[in-house]
C-alpha cells in the first residue's frame, strides 16, 4: 500500500472566498466545477439544459449512475452535468483516468456522495478528508491486519461462515426453492467481516429477515444517495421524513458498534480475537509516533469496515454468480479448475485459494462490468492540466466513472460490453495500458481491504461451484440497484446438488 506523508496536526479552519477553508487552503464542502476548471465551456454537456434545474431531462433519481453512463456514451470521455446550480465533471477515458491516477498531481477527493456518509462514518478510512490526521494514523495501525499472516488467520473463520451459507442453500435446494442471491451474499459478507474483524456474530443466517444492522446500513446509504439528487433548498422539505429515519438508522449503527466495542473492552481487549482489527484498534499504537486511535474514531472505523467491508463484496459475489449462471462454458471451466486444484479436499487450505486463477478472472471480469464501488473522485493538488488539454486549478476535482472506464473500447476492445474472463489472462493484462481497471479506487487511498475481499470472494465462489449446479431464471434480465454501491436487483438462482458433492 502506498504511503503518504502525514499532515500536521492541530490545523484549524478559516474562511475563504468560497466558504470555510480547511488546513490545505482549499474550500471545504462541495466545490462546483466552474470554481476550478477555467475552460469549462470546452467540456461537453447534455443539450436542452433547463434553467435553474440543469441537465434533468430524461433522468431518474433512482438511477443517477446509469443515467451518467448513457450520457457518457453520447458525449465521450469527459463531460459535465449540471443539477440545481451545481456543475460536475465526469471522466472515463482511459488516458484521462491514467492522468488522474498520478499521485504527484492528484489525490482522493471526498465527493458529494461520500461526504454525505460523514455524519455516520466521520473521519473513518473511507470518508476522511486528506488533511485529517486520523486517516494516516488508522491506516498505519490497521494495515498489518491485512498482511498475509493475518489473512491466513482469517481463513478458518471465512470457511465457518461459508458453511452457514451452504447449510442454508442445502435446505433451499432440498425444498426446490430458489435462493435470494444478493440477500444471502449480504448475510455471508456481513458475518465474515464481523467475525474476522471484530469477533462478533450477528446471527444473520438464523434470521428470516435481514439483520437490523443491514436494514439501518441500507437506509443510511440510500439516504446519502437521495441527498445527492435532491435540491439543497428543497432538502428540508422533501427529506423531512427520510431525515428522521436516517437519524434513527445512524443511532442504531452507532449503538450496535458501541456494544461490540464495549464487549471487547470488558473481555480485556482480546476476547479470543488477538490480532484482529478491533484488537489492533484498541491495543496497538502507531509504530513511529506512539499515537492511538480515540474511542470516537474507533467507532467510526468499525462502522466503516462493517459497512464497506461487506456491502461491496456481497455485490461482487452476486454479479459473479449471475454471470456464471448465464455462461455455462465459463462455469464448467471454473468448476474444473476448482476440482483440479482442491482435489479430494472438501475445503481448501489458505494457499489453495490463490491457485484458482481462472475463477479469479471470473471475479475480476464481473468487477470490470459492474464495479460495486462504481466511481471515485480525484482532486488536483496543484494547478495542472488534465490530458494536456483541460486546465485545472488546485482543488478542482472530477469523478471517474469506473463502470465506463472499464468499458472504454480504447483499452478493452470493441466487444468491451461482453463478459469474457480471458481479458484477465496474464498476456492480456500485460498488453493493456495501466490504470484501466479500478474496482478498488486508486493510489494511497485505495481500498485497504482489497486482498481480504478478493480472498473471501474467490473462496466462496469455489465452494459454491464445487457443491451446486446453478440454474438461472430464464426470464430474468439484469437490473442494477444503486445505493452508492451497486447490486443486482431481484437476482434469484435455482440450485442442484452436484453428484458426489460433500
Question: Are 331 and 324 spatial neighbours (Cβ–Cβ below 8 Å)?
Answer: yes
Given the residues 440, 452, 458, 485, select the one marked as catalytic: 440
Nearest to 218 by CA among 194, 182, 191: 182
Beta bridge partners of 90: 79, 399
Q: How far apart are CA 312 and CA 129, in angstroms?
A: 21
Active site residue 126: no
Neighbours of 416 (CB within 10 A): 17
DSSP 8-state code for residue 5 = P
Q: Rounded distance, CA 7 to CA 109, Å?
A: 16
The three-state (H, E, C) secondary structure of 278-297, written as one string? HHHHHHCCCCCCCCCCCHHH
- Hey, what's the cell of 94? 482511459
Q: Which residues pair with 81 in a beta bridge?
A: 88
- Burial pattern 303-315, b for ≥16 Cβ within 10 A else e, equals bbbbbbbbbbbbb
| Whether 30 is catalytic | no
Q: Say how many CA atoms lie within 13 Å of 214 toward its Cβ.
A: 24
Q: Assign 493 to helix, strand or coil.
A: strand
Q: Which of 127, 403, 447, 458 is catalytic?
A: 447
Catalytic status, residue 440: yes
Catalytic member of 256, 312, 442, 458 = 312
> Annotated active-site positions, please?
312, 440, 447
Amino acid at each position: 500500500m502506498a504511503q503518504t506523508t502525514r499532515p500536521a496536526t492541530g490545523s484549524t479552519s478559516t474562511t475563504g472566498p468560497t466558504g470555510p477553508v480547511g488546513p490545505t487552503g482549499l474550500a471545504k464542502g462541495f466545490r462546483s466545477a466552474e470554481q476550478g476548471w477555467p475552460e469549462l465551456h470546452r467540456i461537453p454537456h447534455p443539450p436542452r439544459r433547463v434553467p435553474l434545474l440543469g441537465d434533468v431531462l430524461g433522468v431518474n433519481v433512482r438511477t443517477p449512475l446509469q443515467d451518467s453512463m448513457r450520457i457518457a456514451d453520447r458525449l465521450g470521455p469527459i463531460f459535465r452535468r449540471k443539477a440545481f446550480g451545481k456543475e460536475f465533471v465526469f471522466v472515463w477515458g482511459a488516458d484521462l483516468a491514467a492522468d488522474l491516477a498520478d499521485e504527484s498531481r492528484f489525490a482522493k477527493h471526498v465527493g458529494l456522495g461520500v461526504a454525505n456518509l460523514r455524519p455516520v462514518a466521520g473521519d473513518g478510512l473511507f470518508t476522511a478528508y486528506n488533511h485529517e490526521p486520523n486517516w494516516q494514523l488508522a491506516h498505519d495501525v490497521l494495515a498489518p491486519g491485512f498482511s498475509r499472516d493475518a489473512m491466513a488467520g482469517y481463513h478458518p473463520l471465512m470457511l465457518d461462515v461459508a458453511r452457514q451459507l451452504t447449510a442454508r442453500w442445502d435446505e433451499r435446494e432440498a425444498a426446490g426453492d430458489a435462493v435470494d442471491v444478493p440477500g444471502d451474499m449480504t448475510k455471508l459478507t456481513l458475518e465474515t467481516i464481523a467475525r474476522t474483524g471484530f469477533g462478533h456474530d450477528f446471527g444473520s443466517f438464523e434470521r428470516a429477515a435481514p439483520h437490523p444492522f443491514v436494514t439501518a446500513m441500507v437506509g443510511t446509504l440510500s439516504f446519502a444517495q437521495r441527498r445527492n439528487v435532491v435540491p439543497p433548498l428543497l432538502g428540508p422539505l422533501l427529506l423531512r421524513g427520510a431525515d428522521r429515519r436516517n437519524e434513527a438508522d445512524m443511532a442504531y449503527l452507532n449503538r450496535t458498534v458501541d456494544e461490540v466495542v464495549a464487549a471487547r473492552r470488558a473481555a480485556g481487549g482480546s476476547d479470543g480475537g488477538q490480532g484482529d482489527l478491533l484488537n489492533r484498534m484498541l491495543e496497538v499504537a502507531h509504530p513511529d509516533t506512539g499515537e492511538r486511535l480515540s474511542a470516537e474514531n474507533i467507532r467510526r472505523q468499525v462502522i466503516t469496515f462493517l459497512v464497506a467491508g461487506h456491502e461491496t463484496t456481497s455485490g461482487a459475489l452476486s454479479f459473479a454468480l449471475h454471470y456464471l449462471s448465464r455462461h455455462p462454458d465459463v462455469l464448467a471451466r471454473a468448476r474444473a479448475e476448482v476440482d483440479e486444484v482442491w482435489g479430494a479436499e472438501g475445503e481448501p487450505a489458505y494457499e489453495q485459494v490463490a491457485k484458482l486463477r481462472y475463477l479469479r478472472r471470473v471475479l475480476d471480469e464481473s468487477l470490470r462490468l459492474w464495479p460495486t464501488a462504481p466511481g471515485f473522485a480525484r482532486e488536483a493538488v496543484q494547478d495542472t492540466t488534465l490530458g494536456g488539454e483541460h486546465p485545472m486549478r488546485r482543488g478542482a476535482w472530477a469523478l471517474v466513472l469506473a463502470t465506463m472506464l472499464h468499458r472504454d473500447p480504447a483499452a478493452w476492445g470493441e466487444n468491451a460490453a461482453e463478459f469474457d474472463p480471458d481479458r484477465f489472462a496474464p498476456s492480456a493484462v500485460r498488453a493493456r495500458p495501466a490504470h484501466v481497471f479500478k474496482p478498488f479506487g486508486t493510489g494511497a487511498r485505495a481500498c485497504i481491504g482489497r486482498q481480504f475481499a478478493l480472498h473471501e470472494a474467490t473462496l466462496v465462489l469455489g465452494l459454491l461451484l464445487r457443491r451446486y449446479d446453478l440454474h438461472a431464471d430464464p426470464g430474468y434480465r439484469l437490473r442494477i440497484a444503486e445505493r452508492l454501491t451497486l447490486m443486482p436487483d431481484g437476482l434469484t438462482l435455482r440450485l442442484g446438488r452436484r453428484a458426489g458433492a460433500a
